[in-house]
Amino acid sequence: MTLSRDALRRPRAGGYAQAHYEELLKGWRRRVLPRLRLVIWPLIAASFIGFALPRPWGWGIGFLGGCLYGFWLNLRDAVPRHIEQWRDGAEGERWTERELRPLEKSGWHVAHDLEGTFGNVDHIVVGRAGVFLLDSKNWFGEVSVQGGIATITPRDNPDAAWAATGLARRMRGASRANKEALQSLTGVRTWIQPVVVVWAPFEEQHVLSDGIAFVAGEVLREWLLEQPTKLDTDSVSALGKAIGS
């Protein structure tokens, strides 16, 4: 997830995740829907023809056809959960973008959806408090953190709790890589703080665990403003230009 000199700020966050969701959705529909269409569409067509029959047969068949059409529309959008997660991710990134927007009016530099050698960076934030690499997570369930690992527990099914075990390692690696990239571009030596932005019930609100900051999305802006000053204005300006802000 290293930045390059031509890294560009996109008009809004979540573009990478949204595009991937749409690509997976099209692939799923191409693979699954044609087979179902061969069964359902002839039945719908037959129901419209049957609607011309005398009452009550015509009404009954017409009602059946309407139900089949509704079933088809619902089935068309009932994509697998592993695909829906990409759309959820894009939505979480856009929530983070809205939360960060007021900071730009007070001298912070913010860039979203940056692509580089190691993948996709959701957000980079630069201010007097330093540089922050943000990864937005729109999780379904209550979140707790221990040892740098977030555990997500669905409210209606505690037995289905799962842990985001590789997240901390990936984010530390991304921070190191982008630290080197920014230093090469600007000459400014500073650590990049990895931050997981949690869009889910998170009782602790914010916690630093194993070098990773986990921060509830609704308090992200306040948390950033509370961080101690680490950079002078010239460094902030240089880093802001480097991320394309």
pLDDT, mean of residues 54-81: 65
How far is Cα 105 from Cα 108, in angstroms, rounded to an integer?
A: 7
Mind giving me the DSSP string for 54-119?
STTHHHHHHHHHHHHHHHHHHHHH---HHHHHHHHHHHHHHHHHHHHHHHHTTT-EEEEEEEETTE
Its pTM stands at: 0.76
Q: Are 182 and 3 in contact (CB under 8 A)?
A: yes
Higher pLDDT, 80 or 91: 91
At residue 241 the predicted structure's pLDDT band, cuts being 50, 70 and 90, is: very high
At residue 88 the predicted structure's pLDDT band, cuts being 50, 70 and 90, is: confident
Q: Is the pLDDT of residue 18 over 90?
A: no
Q: How far apart are the first and last CA of the chain?
A: 17
pLDDT tens readout for residues 41-65: 676 666 666 556 566 655 566 666 6
Mind giving me the DSSP string for 36-64?
HHHHHHHHHHHHHHHTTSSTTHHHHHHHH
Most distant CA pair in the chain, distance:
83
How far is Cα 108 from Cα 113, in angstroms, rounded to an integer?
A: 17
pLDDT, mean of residues 117-131: 84
Give the CA dihedral 157, 160, 165, 167, nearest 10 degrees.
-50
Q: Are 241 and 187 in contact (CB under 8 A)?
A: no
Mean pLDDT of the chain: 83
- Quote the pLDDT of residue 65: 65
How far is Cα 214 from Cα 200, in angstroms, rounded to an integer?
A: 12
Sorted by where each begins, the domain ranges of the chain are 1-245
The CB density around residue 158, as the number of other CB atoms within 10 Å, is 10
- Quote the pLDDT of residue 130: 97
pLDDT, mean of residues 179-185: 91
